[in-house]
Each structure stands twice: as C-alpha cells, then as structure tokens.
Structure 1
C-alpha cells in the first residue's frame, strides 16, 4: 500500500520558496542595495534569476518527458546523462545539501543566541545549532507529512514578516535615491557572490520527487511558481529599501529590516523560520538523494532501506545528520560554503546541458512542457561563467572532486537499463558529420584511410593489426574481418554475433567483425563490394602477402575485382624472425612507373612517423635512376614533392643506367637490414600475376618485413619520368 503523496503546493512550491526566501533576504538584501544601488541591485537579482529560471525551465521540461522517481536532480541527470555524471553530481549535491544544513543552523544559532543573550562564542553556537539539528531531525523522523505541515507555519511567519516590512515606518529616509554603485562601495562581483545563494533553493522541491502524486505536473508548476514568486519579492523589497533607507545605513546595518518593520518580532520570526525551513528542506531532500543513489548501486546498499509506506530514508537521514553535525562542530564554514555553492552551480549547469543535449540529440525526447533548446545552453554557460567570476579556486576544487567521483563511477561500471543521452548525442554527431562529409567529397584531398583489413589468424596477427593501425593515421578507420569458412553457409551469423569484442582490437582502436563465407576469395570480394556507407566509404584493402597462390585463378579474379573497384591495396610480407626489427629504419622505393604509388607512400610515411612505435625512425626515399639523369635534378624534384606533404626523409639516388640491374636486385642490396621496406606494385596484367608473385617471393627471402603498395586512381600522378630532363 502506498503512503501519502503530496501535491504541487505542499510538495514542491512550499519547500522551494522557503529555501529561496532565506537569510540573504533578511540579512543581506539591504547591504546589496546599499552597495550596488537600486539599478545595480535589480541587475544582480535578475542575473541570478537567469540561472534559476533557465535551470527551472530545463528541469521542468526533462521532468515532463521521463518518468521521475525519487532522487530529484540525481534521478534526472542519471537517466539523461548516465550514472557516472549523474552519480558524481548526485554525491556532490548530497554532501553540499548536508553541509548547507549546518550553514543555515549556524545562522539561526547566531540570531537566536543574540536575541536571548545566550552568548555568541563558538561553543554557544555549536550547542544551539546541535539542539536545532536534533529537533529538526526528530521532526523528520516522526513523519515527512508532519514536517511538510510544519513548513506551512513557517511560510505563514515569512509572509507576516514581509507584510510587517512593507507597512513599517522608516526614520532613515534618503535625501536622494542611489541608482548605481558608488566609488567607495564593494565591487559588484563580490556583491553578486554574496547574493547568489538566495536563488539556489528551488531544487528543494525537486528533491521531493519520489513523494509527489504527479511529479510531471507538480515539478514544473511548483518550481517555476517558486522562482517567479521569489523574483517578485526580492525586487519588491529592493525597491522598497532603496526608497525608504539611505545607502549608508543599508551598507552598515544588517538588521535594518527589524528596525523599520511595523512589528519587529514578526521579522525575527521570519528569520528563524527561513533558516529553520531551509535546514528542514535539506533534511527532507538530502536523504532522498542518497537513497536513490543506493537503489542504483552508486552508494552502499544500506542507505536504500526505508521505513513505512513511503519508504522514508531513515538510514540516509542519519548520515545527513552526521555530516551536518560535523559542519556545526567546525563552526567556521566560510571555505566550505564557497565549495558548496560551486557544487550547486555545477549541478545546475549539468541540468541545463542535460536538457540541451536531450532536446538536440534524442529523437525520443517528447516533453509535454516544451521550451527552446537554447535556453538550456544559455543556462549552462551562465552557470560556469558565474562560477569562474565568483571564485575560480573554489570552482576548480569542485571540479576536481566531481571529476574524481566521475572516474570512480566509470571504473565501478554501474549500468542502468535505460540508455543515457550520450548514445543519442554521438549518433546525432555522426549522422550530421557523415552528411557533411558526403556533401563535400573532394577526390584531391589528402588520403584519409578507411581500411578493410583481413588479418587472418596466427600468432603474428597482432603485427599486421599494428601496422594497419599505423598506416591509417590518427583519424583513419580500420575494420578487421574474420572470415569463417563454411562450405554450406546456409545461414549467416546474426548481426549481433558479427560484432567482435576483443581487448586487442579495443586497445588499437580497430573495429572487428566476423562473417561466414563459402569461399575465402568470394568473401573478400563481397565485403569489398558491399561494406561501408556514404561519407566514410572504405578506400583501402590490406592483407598478408599471398605466398603460394601464384597460380590461383580465384586469387587472380579477386585481385582483378579489387583493382576494378579502385581500392588502394596493401600487402604485408611479415618477417617472422626479424619482425619489425627495432622500428628505426624504413625504406620507400620509387621508380619511374610509380607515379601514383609515390604519393600514397608519402602519405604512409606521414602516418608512420606519427606513430609512437615509429616516431624515432629514419626514413629513406630511394630512387633508381635508369636513364642517367643528373642526380641533383632528380633529388631537387623529389625533395619538392616531399616538402609538399611535409615529410622529412633522406633522399638517395641510385644510378643504374650502365649496369641496368633488376629493380628487385637493387632492393636486396640496399634494404637487406631495413626494418620495414615499402615497395610499389607496378601496373601489370593479370595473366602476368604468377611471374610477379614468384619474383616478389624471391625478394622477400632476402629482406625483412615488406609492405607492397598499389595506389587507387584518386591519387595524383607525380612526375617521376626524368627522361626529358637533360
């Protein structure tokens, strides 16, 4: 059986407005007007409420889209942005809420002790604050319903105090109304910092989300009504003070409202009511945040246990008591108060960005309370701009703590059944990016590899994967396909089974798939023909060198198809003994017939030297001069080509006009000890494939690991024909 639930007024509006109309209004609003002037004070009030209103609108919109459970801000953020962000902000907000209780009760203790003459030493404050905390905790333990009803009496006291203020008589009439800040006044940013906590109380009602009859209706109405009411009252009191009290008195007398009020005890009752109600709001809302996090396994399970029909969070309440009491015993909470303010602002910032991302990226986001998406972005930027301006050190401290909590929750790997907004954000970014890329395809752009890799299965597979990722560069895409030979191949693998999850691929950043094929070569051809989509079409095929297939008609047919599809082809012959040596030397071999391959090789060189394994390598470009051309002319022309692609290489010209040695023989002489040799595949007819493979196999017997390159037609033709240069 479900316990009593609360409506908009009792469950949201009342706890929110009681926290908004707090100590700042009674003890500091006059000081704000005195220092900033009437216009300045109104600007400060409005600016602070920009954050409050944008956050209220954002949270209201999200609340009308999702099913809102217990936990308030934590619940909303965790269901929208995921457990790591929601949990880290939730923990920070919970601790901030508990410590804010101590701040409110210390303020109450100072006022209470000062009025009755009980002493204002730190121990006196501790004693009174502790008694007040015990009383409010007992009230919350007796019943949330009783605590809610108690708030009505406090609200009545605050209303009476405001009426007493407006109907009071002032003996401090100003000669002229000060509109702006004077030269000797406190700087406006400091005044803003003091005032801002006045508008941070509207989440008190959101924290009661689990105890509401209809959260989707109550949260928007109650929250926005509380923020609007607070804005009107603050501006009204500011105008009243500016017209009735001189700025000098406002700057120096914190108790001016009691002195000008029609009935001073009414203002005193309002001050006590405001501090106690704010503390009570934290005592009611804080435990519900912790309980919700424990239900999601973010915090220890012991705090998920509750009592009664409403599952009231008794265990979580005791921890709130301990944290609040620790704050009261410290007594001096100025530093803590700054950090607590940052926690609240951080939470508000993430609420706003959560709404913005939901409305921008999530196609399933259909709130009944609709606002413009830019409101969330405005609120997010305003929150962090204010944090930076108010206290950069406290902001950095809050960020450091929240970042630590985020990393901890990521490692803890808590998961929800529901998806968070980041999935939709990335899908939206990818979708828009693909459309942009597809609409601006330029064949002459630098090579951005999208490699289909067939690495096979062997103990040396990791080296082919490593080189595949190396030659793809930082932004290239590599997809490795495992081909499962099934002669019958009656049924393909299910889509979910085609995805391979493996630590090796994850560490290298390589996508991995597996498919069933009835023939390996047909499988490669089919994948090369069909795999990919607009914007990121695959442009390169990479595999091991096919030893022993020189007479294979199936291999010849596959190669012919790949050439017809105009793929870049990369074949690696891996030296199983030398491997890649010490990753210190790479040779690129050029000849007159390598006009397209040369540019592709230079792109590969750029990616190789950017790789951590190869970043200290020495790269040589070796050109075989078969036509007795002047070496300086060849060298300068190659250097010009190399500089265009910003690659640092050594250029070596090998004169072969007289001896006319075979190309592969020269490679054997110069690259025998090279860690990786890169050679272009010439344009040959398929019927001569067997001869080419045999000659290449012979080359591989004398040199180390070698990468053969065949460039597609979209590469530029580099003028490597120096015959006419004399």
Structure 2
C-alpha cells in the first residue's frame, strides 16, 4: 500500500492561493480601476483591500500554529475555536459561495475563450463553453488531486509569462501627464473598490487544502502570507506601470488594454484563461473538502463525509459542488448571487479575525508558535464589517440573516464537539475582570443586588419557593440552592462533579444547584453561610422555609445567632399549601416604627416583584400601624416620599391603633387574610425569646396566606419611621 500523498507549502498553499489572487480582476479590471481612481486612489484601494487580506492571513496563520488544523480550512479553524454553530454556519456559507464562484470564473473564461475563437457571444454559448470546462475540471479533480495541483504549475507559469509580457510591452499609449487623483467624470471610489475587492479574496484557497498538507502549521502561515505579499507587489507594480504607460481615458474604456500593450498578446490570453481556470480548480478542490469536514462533524449529511481512495478524496462532496456550480452556469445572470458570495467571504474573514482576537485575549491555553499582536485581529474584524457596510448594506444584512438562520439551526440541532470552544474562555475572562472591578469598588450603600443562598429542602411545593426566590432576586441577582444530605459518619464528601445539581426547575429559573453531605443540618447551613462565595459576589441573603416545630431547638437558635452575627439578610417563607400564591395579584408590606431597615428591604423586594412577569403588575399596599395618634396625613406624606425614592407604585394605608392598642399580629390577621403574599419584618429580639416569637408567628400564619418574613442586614439604609421623635415630625406639628 502506498503512502498518503501530502503536499508542501508551495504546491499545497502558495500556488492555489496566488492563482486565485492573480485572476480576472487583474487582467480585465485593474486598468479600469487605475483610470477611474488615479494612481493615489488605486494605491489606497489596494492598501485598504490588503488590510483585510493581511490581518485575516495573519490571524488564521496564528490560530493554525496553535491548534491541530484538520481538513476543512476556515470551517475547521472556526468550529474548533468558536464552536460548531458559528463554524458550521460560516462553513456552509463559504461552501456555497465557493461553489457559485466556480460558475463566475468559468463564465468569465467562456467569454474570453469564445471571443478569441469566434465561437459565439450569446448567453447560451457561454453556458455551453462553461459547462464543458466545468465537466473537464471535475473529471481532472476526480482522476487525481495531485494531477490537478500539478496542472496549476503550468497555469502559474503562463501567468508569470503574461505579466512579463505586459511589463516589456509597448509605451505608445503613454499619457501626457500621470493621473494621480480621480477625474470629475470618474466612477465613485466605493464602486471601484467593490469591483476590485474580489482580487484579494483568494488567499484562503490554500487554507482549504489544510487536510492534505504535510505540515499545516508551517505551510499555512508561510504559504498564505507569501501569496498575499506577492499579490500585493504585483498589483502595486502593475498599477504604477499602467498609470505611467497608458492614457487614463483609454484605461476607463478598454478592458482588453493589457493585450494591446503586451509584448506578446497570446501570453496575456493564456494568462486570462489560466487565471480563470486555476481559480475554478481552487474552488473544485477546496469546496468539497469544506463540505466533507462539516459532514464528518454531522453539520451536514453524513453521505458527503465519505471519501474514496487512500487520500480519502471527497467524491460525494465534489459531485454536489459540480451540481451547484452547474446551476450557477445555467442561471447565467449571477449579479445578486455574486454580491452575496462576496459578503459571505467578508463575513468569514471578519469571524476569523475576531476568533483570533478572542483566543489570544481569553484563552489561557492559546500558545501559537506564530505570534502577532492581538489588536491585528480586532482591526481586521472592524475593517471587514466596515467595508461590508460601505459596499452594500442590503447584501450585508442578507448574508448576516442567512448566516444567523444557519447559526440558530445548528444550535437547535445541538451538534457538539469533544473539545471546548473559545466562548467558555471568553466568559471566564469577562467574569474574572468583572469580579475584580466589583471587588475594587465596594459601596455599602449601593442598591441591593441579591445574591441568595437558598435552602429549599425536598417537598412537593419546592418549586414555589424556588420561584419566589428567583422573583425576589430580581433580573440580575443570583440564587444558589443547596440540598443538604445528612450523613452522620460523613466519611467522604461528594466529588466536585457530584455536587452540581441540574434539573428542569433550576434551568428554567436560572438557579444554580448544589448538594453537600453534612453531619448536621444546622451546622451545614452555618458552614455554608460562613464560607460560600468568592470576592466580588459574596452572598448577602439567606432564604429558607419557616421553621415550624423548631421553636425550642437549641441548634436552630445557635444557627440563627450565627446568621445574624454574619450580618446576612434573612428571608423565611411560610407557604400556604392550600392557596399557594393565590392569583399572584396582591402584596402587603407591613411596617412599624422599629422596622426602619426592614422597610427599605421590603420596598426593594416589591420593586423586583413588580418587574416579574409571573406577578403581572400586582396591587401593592404599604400598611403602617399608627400606635401614637400621629396625624395620618403626616405619616402618609413621609411614607410617600420614601416610596417615591424607590420608584415603586403602592397604596398607603394607615391603621390608627392609639386607642385600641390591638396586637400587631391581630391587625395583620384582619387586614391580610386574603392577600396573596404578605411581607412582615422580623423585629430585633433577644435570642432567648426566639421560641416565643416563633410560636406567635405560627399562630399568625394559620390565619393568613403565604408570608415572607424579612430581616434586613446592617448595610440597608435606615428609613425614618419614628414619627413621634423625628425632627421632621416636630416641624410638621409646630
């Protein structure tokens, strides 16, 4: 059995790339570009186009020397860096664009070929010639990739001879003065740029052969950058030569001027044919390998992933390329398709550049042997989309819409690779920098952003506690639910991977789930409250169910003391098993003179409840028990000011209790008997009176619906609710 045939830098990367770069644009349009834009304008156009080519070439070369580059070229690079959805969507777009570009090259060839041999110049004549050329090139590729690549050497030789013939040609068309800037009747520069830009899009032809290279990490950087560099020198040299050799008006009107000034015109004809046919060969060789790689990753049907022979030639994929290219030839008019194809290439180049930028910025494992500055990738990304926007906004939006649809389709298909993509590193880097920023700017009086440790336990109504906790945490707050597994022996803790809990409730609500072994529930809660969290996002709130039946528990009392000492916000939910949260419509906030910090926390919770789609604009009341016969209007005015500051719309109700002096809980039973959710502050009490408080609260819960008890930490502001002793009150009644 013979060894698999692999190609080196020159045959596998440089030659297919340079043959696509030195193509029809150089022969048929470069003179027109110089005539319309002047020498300085042309140099600017060439330079801007090569900013994209050079940055993309550098970016892909750097990524190629970090990862093992397999078959598929651009698709392989993007899918292994940014994940299958992006890599696959761009890969499909590049594949289709490559297949249709073959049609364009062959139609251009047929126009020149038919004119030279006087075979007919109708669209049907072009279709026949182009179809015959496509069939011939496809058969050549089927016979042997090696033969097709060797044929490129003869084409490269023809192009070199044609360029020499042009430089050695006549100067009888020389202008009286060199046209340095565009004249008044010239085509706008952006239109000229749009026509010239396809000249620099051929450098990825060699990258598509990545799976057939002896040493892709060496060949891709060297071959790609050599092709771009040689192409830049040729275009600049020819532009300067034409500016000094040919009258600008003649350059504008005669597309065949290169044949007229050449020392040997047939050499230029051979160069044109060689350029178009070599570009088509590049597409015929590269396109199927992109499709084959995608099919092997299950992005596209598996049938196109199968190859034949010792080199695993992508025969099935080649046949699909043939069909698409033939459809393009039969359509004939490919203006719209050509615009989209150009946009697809620019989009791919943009993503290659941002891929490199993200890899170098976020991935700690990114260690390419070919190193470049990180900003080069960002510059290339910006340049690509700036050019797309300037050239054709409609085509840009169209290409992005197609690629977006492919991306979401692949996401839903959930095709995944074994290797990690760069997005994990990006998020880790963002989180790392964000935590450092937060940690450096701690403001004890900033708005409350809940980071809740939740102990929901296992019960039939656990979902409701999870739901309310997520509501209370707001849009940006975090909730981590802990399941505590009692293990008296506690011989071995759970492995880190076993501690992570994922279920449908957690995924739906965006709650993190953890489980731990503990020897004692209360000690477990205390230990978690003392140690869980990390700099920047330390937990600030503990939430759990109300402890019925634990009023005499010394362990529970000790745990409560510790949580108060640690200065957590405490939330206890007594859930009404019968009515649950009712219609999610009414919320009562109960305030008293000693509830200054609890009151502010309740208003924050109310604001989050209002923002919750589940509660859908509930009716919220603030109820204040007036035990000191203070003027109702004074209290209402003061509470209104406090409520307005927190931008929460509520109804204020003052309950006069100076004469009757009814118990606070009795008033709550009367007013909130049918309320869907009632918030009550936990007063400051000596820990030895905890049992008494729990028992009284248990009786309250028997008379009202679901209730959330609130105990605010010290970082909450003090709301002045002591109307009897406050200075504001004294001034009001003076």
Instruction: Give the TM-score taking structure 1 as reference length.
Output: 0.99
Q: Distance in 1 between matches of 2:643 and 2:50?
A: 59
Alignment of 1:124-139 (within 5 A): 124-139=125-140
Cα offset, 1:525, TM superposition: 1.0
| 2:242 counterpart of 1:247 | no
The answer as to 2:614 corresponding to 1:638 is: no
SS of the residue corresponding to residue 200 of structure 1 reads helix
Equivalents in 2 of 1:484, 1:447: separation in Å?
Answer: 31
Could you say which residue in structure 1 is the equivalent of 2:123?
122
Match of 2:36 in 1: 35
Counterparts of 2:334 and 2:300, CA distance in 1: 26
CA distance in 2, matches of 1:130, 1:150: 20
- CA distance in structure 2 between the partners assigned to 1:602 and 1:171 by the alignment: 88
2:718 aligns to what? 717
Q: Which runs of 5+ in 1 are unaligned?
A: none
Q: Secondary structure at the match of 1:280?
A: helix
**For the residues of structure 1 that align with 2:590 and 2:121, how far apart are their CA atoms?**
87
Query: Is residue 146 from structure 1 mapped to residue 165 from structure 2 by the alignment?
Result: no
- The 2-side partners of 1:164 and 1:654 are apart by 102
Aligned to 2:228: 227
- In the other structure, the counterpart of 1:108 is 109
CA distance in 2, matches of 1:284, 1:204: 9
Partner of 1:441: 442
Residue of structure 2 equivalent to 1:401: 402
Deviation at 1:350, TM superposition (A): 0.7
Matched, 1:180 2:181: yes
Q: Measure, in 2, the Cα distance between the counterparts of 1:488 and 1:159.
A: 82
CA displacement at 1:173 relative to structure 2: 2.0
CA deviation after TM superposition for structure 1 residue 41, in Å: 0.7
CA deviation string 1:638-662 (max 9, x = no partner): 1111122221112111111111111
Looking at structure 1, the residues matched to 637 and 118 of structure 2 have their Cα atoms a distance apart, in angstroms, of 94
> Tell me, what secondary structure is at the counterpart of 2:255?
coil
Query: Structure 1 CA distance, aligned partners of 2:162 and 2:334?
Result: 28
Q: In structure 2, what is the equivalent of residue 3 of structure 1?
A: 4
* Cα distance between partner residues in 1 of 2:623 and 2:257: 89
Q: Which residue of 2 aligns with 1:19?
A: 20
Q: Please state whether the residue corresponding to 1:207 is helix, strand or coil.
A: helix
The residue that corresponds to 1:474 in the other structure is 475
Q: CA deviation at 1:510?
A: 0.3
Residue 324 of structure 1 aligns with which residue? 325
For residues 485-496 of structure 1, the aligned pairs below 5 Å read: 485-496=486-497
Q: What's 2:600 paired with?
A: 599
1:172 positional shift:
2.4
The aligned counterpart of 2:685 is 684
Matches within 5 A, 1:374-413: 374-413=375-414
Aligned to 1:539: 540
Write out per-residue CA displacement over residues 222-273 of structure 1, whole angstroms, 9 at most, x where no aligned residue: 0001001101111111111111112211111111111111111111111100
How big is the alpha-carbon RMSD for the aligned residues of Structure 1 and Structure 2? 1.0
Task: Give me the whole-angstrom Cα distance separating, in 2, the residues matched to 1:178 and 1:618.
Answer: 76
Q: Which residue of 2 aligns with 1:500?
A: 501
Q: Does residue 628 of structure 1 match 2:639?
A: no
Deviation per residue, 1:156-194 (Å, 9 max, x gap): 110111111111113322222111112221111111111
Is residue 2:417 matched to residue 1:455?
no
CA distance in 2, matches of 1:714, 1:616: 29
Tell me the SS of whatever aligns to 1:654. strand
Residue-by-residue CA offset, 1:269-308 (whole Å, 9 max, x unaligned): 1110000000000001111111111111211111122122
SS at structure 2 position matched to 1:457? coil
Distance 1:170 1:137 in 2: 41
Q: Which residue of 2 aligns with 1:262?
A: 263
What secondary structure sits across from 2:183 in the alignment?
A: coil
Deviations 1:310-341 (A, max 9, x none): 11111111111111111111111000000001
Distance 1:114 1:471 in 2: 77
Find the aligned partners of 2:233 and 2:507 in 1 and give their Cα distance.
56
Could you say which residue in structure 1 is the equivalent of 2:314? 313
Q: Secondary structure at the match of 1:691?
A: helix
Alpha-carbon distance, 1:585 to partner: 1.0
- Aligned: 1:611 with 2:612: yes
Residues 506-547 of structure 1: CA deviation (Å, up to 9, x unaligned): 010000011111211111111111111111101000011111
SS at structure 1 position matched to 2:501: coil
Q: Secondary structure of 2:206's match?
A: helix
**Secondary structure of the residue that 2:202 maps to in structure 1?**
coil
Q: Distance in 2 between matches of 1:48 and 1:687?
A: 79
- Give the structure 2 partner of residue 578 of structure 1: 579
Structure 1: how far apart are the matches of 2:578 and 2:544?
Answer: 19
Please report how far the alpha carbon of residue 407 of structure 1 lies from its aligned counterpart in structure 2 after TM superposition.
1.1
2:665 is paired with a residue whose SS is helix
Query: Structure 1 residue 2: deviation in Å?
Result: 3.5
**1:487: how far off?**
2.0
Q: In the TM superposition, what is the alpha-carbon distance from 1:445 to its structure 2 partner?
A: 0.6
2:521 alignment partner in structure 1: 520
Q: Distance in 1 between matches of 2:30 and 2:626?
A: 87
SS of 2:178's equivalent in the other structure is coil
- 1:614 partner SS: coil
CA distance in 2, matches of 1:563, 1:276: 80
| Counterpart mapping for 1:533-572 below 5 A | 533-572=534-573
Which segments of structure 1 move beyond 6 Å, counting only runs of 4 or more?
none
d(CA) in 2 for partners of 1:342 and 1:650?
A: 57
Distance 1:54 1:407 in 2: 28
1:675 aligned partner: 676
Deviation at 1:462, TM superposition (A): 0.7
